[in-house]
Amino acid sequence: MTSTQTEAPTQPPTVPRTYEVRTYGCQMNVHDSERLTGLLEDAGYAAAPSGEQADVVVFNTCAVRENADNRLYGNLGHLAPVKAATPGMQIAVGGCLAQKDRETITRKAPWVDVVFGTHNIGSLPVLLERARVQEEAQVEILESLEVFPSTLPTKRESAYAAWVSISVGCNNTCTFCIVPSLRGTEKDRRPGEILAEIEALVADGVSEVTLLGQNVNAYGVEFGDRQAFSKLLRACGDIEGLERVRFTSPHPAEFTDDVIEAMAQTPNVMPSLHMPLQSGSDKVLRAMRRSYRQSRYLGIIERVRAAMPEAAITTDIIVGFPGETDEDFEATLDVVRAARFSGAFTFQYSKRPGTPAATLEDQVPRAVVQERYERLVAEVNEIAWQENRALEGRRMDLLVAEGEGRKDAATHRLSGRAPDNRLVHFNPEGADGVRPGDVVTVEVTYGAPHHLVADGAVLSVRRTRSGDTWERRQGGAAPEAGGVSLGMPVIGVPSPLPEAPACR
Ligand code: SF4
């Protein structure tokens, strides 16, 4: 007996349009880019294979960096001939610079298809489609946030660690900072929603979360609970499977003792603190419109050290703010020596158009800023090195990282993060098959200025669900959450650490 089968007419396979998101700036932007990729994938786009030209290139810009606009227009200029030669290609510009420059972008670079701001990242797919259909650039900037961005689809970059936004915007008015005018006033997410997101992340294999806010410890100001941040930290302590909790960046003015107690008493809140100093001089702090003073800052450090002697404390410092004298700069060095930071992001002040400080008289000459900057960096590095050397011989548990040890291939080491967030490069002997997201115990053999080394064999290995998740991802298994889902985390290839903390 024979049978005939009627073949269904073959449809040409639909090839998804590809995207590439280029991210500049702080963790806020890194996390926003996770949302942008989530949105694009939800709309049917696929990540462009590395080395291949994407159909859609999205710039997520930063307005804080010096010459950010020159760099953006340079990059857009490079893409103009590529776009001209690639039918259907689209370019979108979002982030802080887009919020600031708006129509200027399409005027200077008329080949840009979409400009969107910090308050409407959710509109990107619609704007791209509208630009394609109408064959005309779309510029859409909102003045305030309509939807909290964490309710948007998100494609998480790391298998084991995740950012969780608890607030966006900032109610402060630091005179060097463009954030308040571009990100708006602080909007707090409800605690239940934050905890639900963290629980979902943990269910997906994440073991470390970093709570994110421009002014993270002001959390609760919108709903009138001054202790909301410490309560949130304690609530994180009740989430089973959540091994490490961090946060960035707290503001010294709002740093209250209940936060120190919550950190010290909640075992999964890690003993690391990144607290921007900016200047050690009360006069400069006043000119910066930062409402704490040197004594308050050092008081917090003292109480943190008393409660958590093993804590690593890092900071941000700006050198050469307008009006900074040698005496003011010495006051900053005094704080550096007293606080014994384990690391610092150091910045040379330069004018940011749109900030109040840009119009201040008494700008410090470039050469003076440079000389102070070099002295500061030397002092910070020397102290960080002493602190790291003091850890030689210490045993520590490392969360094995991916993409954090640039020289690992050459040195045959792996890298991981200590509880205090120090980067440790370790000899993988005795840890066969260890995966990013697993935990190893090592003994530090050498403290370098910016990292630790553990060159003995690994003492123990704990395989974790995060490691399983990472391994599954390598096999190309579909994310458990079904690709991208509304507000639910999806896991992927970890990204390198962002350039600098959120609040500057
Ligand atoms: S530096 Fe930080 S605290 Fe000050 S305005 Fe900017 S985001 Fe707010």
CA angle, corner 305, sides to 303 and 308, nearest 5?
Answer: 110
Averaged over 2-26, what is the pLDDT? 66
Residue in 202, 204, 206, 193 with CA at minimum distance from that of residue 239: 202
> Which range is least confidently modeled, 240-244, 448-452, 496-500?
496-500
Region for residue 379 given its phi and psi (left: phi exceeds 0; alpha: psi -120 to 50; beta: otherwise): alpha
Location of structure tokens 């991802």 = 473
In the block, tokens 């776009």 appear at 83
Quote the pLDDT of residue 100: 85
What's the confidence (pLDDT) of residue 85?
Answer: 93
Percent of the chain with pLDDT over 90: 69
Say how far apart CA 164 and CA 352 lie, in whole Å. 28
The protein residue with its alpha carbon nearest to ligand 1, atom 6, reads: 177
pLDDT value at residue 153: 73
Ligand 1: centre distance to CA 65 (Å)? 14
Which atom of ligand 1 is nearest to 183's Cα? 7
Measure the CA–CA gap between 135 and 43, rounded to whole angstroms.
19
Report whether 275 contacts 250 (CB < 8 A). Answer: yes
Closest CA to 27 of 153, 194, 212, 189: 212
Q: Is the CB of 174 under 6 A from ligand 1?
A: yes
Statement: residue 90 has pLDDT above 70: yes
- Asked if 154 and 122 count as a contact pair (C-beta separation under 8 A), the reply is no
Q: Facing residues of 19 across strands?
A: 47, 56
Tell me how far apart the alpha carbons of residues 341 and 301 are, in angstroms, rounded to a whole number. 10
Query: What are the start-end ranges of the H helices in 56-178?
Result: 68-85, 96-101, 103-108, 124-134
pLDDT in tens, 277-325: 999 999 999 999 999 999 999 999 999 999 999 999 999 999 999 999 9
Beta carbons within 8 Å of 410's beta carbon, 6+ residues apart: none
215 close to ligand 1 (CB < 6 Angstrom): yes
The candidate with the shortest Cα–Cα distance to 145, out of 124, 126, 173, 169, is 169
In the predicted model, what is the mean pLDDT of the chain?
88
415 CB near ligand 1 (under 6 Å): no
HEC sequence for 417-479: ECCCCCEEEECCCCCCCCCCCCEEEEECCEECCCCEEECCCCCEEECCHHHHHHHHHHCCCCC
Residues of each annotated binding site: 26, 62, 96, 170, 174, 177
Annotated binding-site ranges for [4Fe-4S] cluster: 26, 62, 96, 170, 174, 177
CA–CA separation, 141 and 157 (whole Å): 27
Domain ranges of the chain: 18-140, 149-389, 395-463
**What pLDDT is attached to residue 358?**
87
H or E element that contains 301:
helix 294-307
**Pair type for strands 439-443 and 395-400:** antiparallel
CA dist 303 and 9 (Å) reads 73
In DSSP notation, 362-376 reads: -PPPHHHHHHHHHHH
Residue tagged 């000389």 (tokens): 371
Confidence band for 502, pLDDT divided at 50, 70 and 90: low
DSSP, collapsed to helix, strand or coil, labels residue 119 as coil
Percent of the chain with pLDDT over 70: 90
Vertex 503 angle, CA 498 and 504, to 5°: 100
CA of 471 to the centre of ligand 1 (A): 39
Whether residue 479 has pLDDT greater than 80: no
Q: How far apart, in whole angstroms, are the C-alpha atoms of residue 4 and residue 73?
A: 62
> What strands lie across the sheet with 138-140, from one edge to the other?
46-47, 18-23, 56-61, 90-95, 114-116, 138-140
Is the pTM higher than 0.95? The answer reads: no
CATH 3.80.30.20 for domain 149-389, yes or no, is: yes
Q: Are strands 90-95 and 56-61 parallel, antiparallel or unpaired?
A: parallel
Burial of 48 (0-12, 13-18, 19+ CB in 10 A): middle
* Distance, CA of 245 to CA of 218 (rounded, Å): 17
Give the domain 18-140 fold: Rossmann fold (3.40.50)
- Rounded mean pLDDT of 248-255? 94
- Residue 208: predicted pLDDT: 97
Residues 61-71 as b or e (16 or more Cβ within 10 Å = b)? bbbbbeebbeb
Cα-to-centroid distance, 169 and ligand 1 (Å)? 9
Q: Is 251 in the pocket of ligand 1 (CB under 6 A)?
A: yes
User: How large is the average pLDDT for residues 184-204?
Assistant: 93
Return the pLDDT at 146: 66
Among 165, 167, 173, 174, residue to substitute to test ligand 1 (most atoms within 8 Å of Cβ) = 174
- Beta-carbon contacts of residue 247 (< 8 Å; ≥ 6 apart): 210, 211, 212, 213, 216, 217, 233
Sheet of 312-319: strand order equals 272-274, 312-319, 343-348
- 425 within ligand 1 shell (Cβ under 6 A): no
Which tens digit of pLDDT belongs to each residue from 343-391? 999 999 988 878 889 888 899 999 999 999 999 999 999 999 999 999 9
Q: What share of the chain is helix, strand, coil (3-state, %, to 5)?
A: 35, 20, 45
> Contact 413/136 with Cβ under 8 angstroms?
no
The pLDDT tens digits for 422-463 are: 999 999 998 999 999 999 999 999 999 999 999 999 999 999
Pick from 69-73, 294-298, 498-502: least confident: 498-502
Residue pLDDT, tens place only, 137-169: 999 888 777 667 666 777 777 889 999 999 988
Give phi and psi for 328, each to the nearest 5: -60, -45
Phi, psi for 347 (deg, rounded to 5) = -130, 140
Q: How many whole angstroms separate alpha carbon 237 and alpha carbon 249? A: 19
Angle between helices 326-339 and 294-307 (to 10 degrees): 10
Q: What CATH number does the domain located at 395-463 have?
A: 2.40.50.140
CB–CB of 327/281 below 8 Å?
yes
Element at 31 (helix H, strand E): helix 27-42
Residue 175: how many CB atoms within 10 A of its CB? 18
Question: Is residue 8 predicted with pLDDT exceeding 80?
Answer: no
Token duo for residue 388: 């790291």
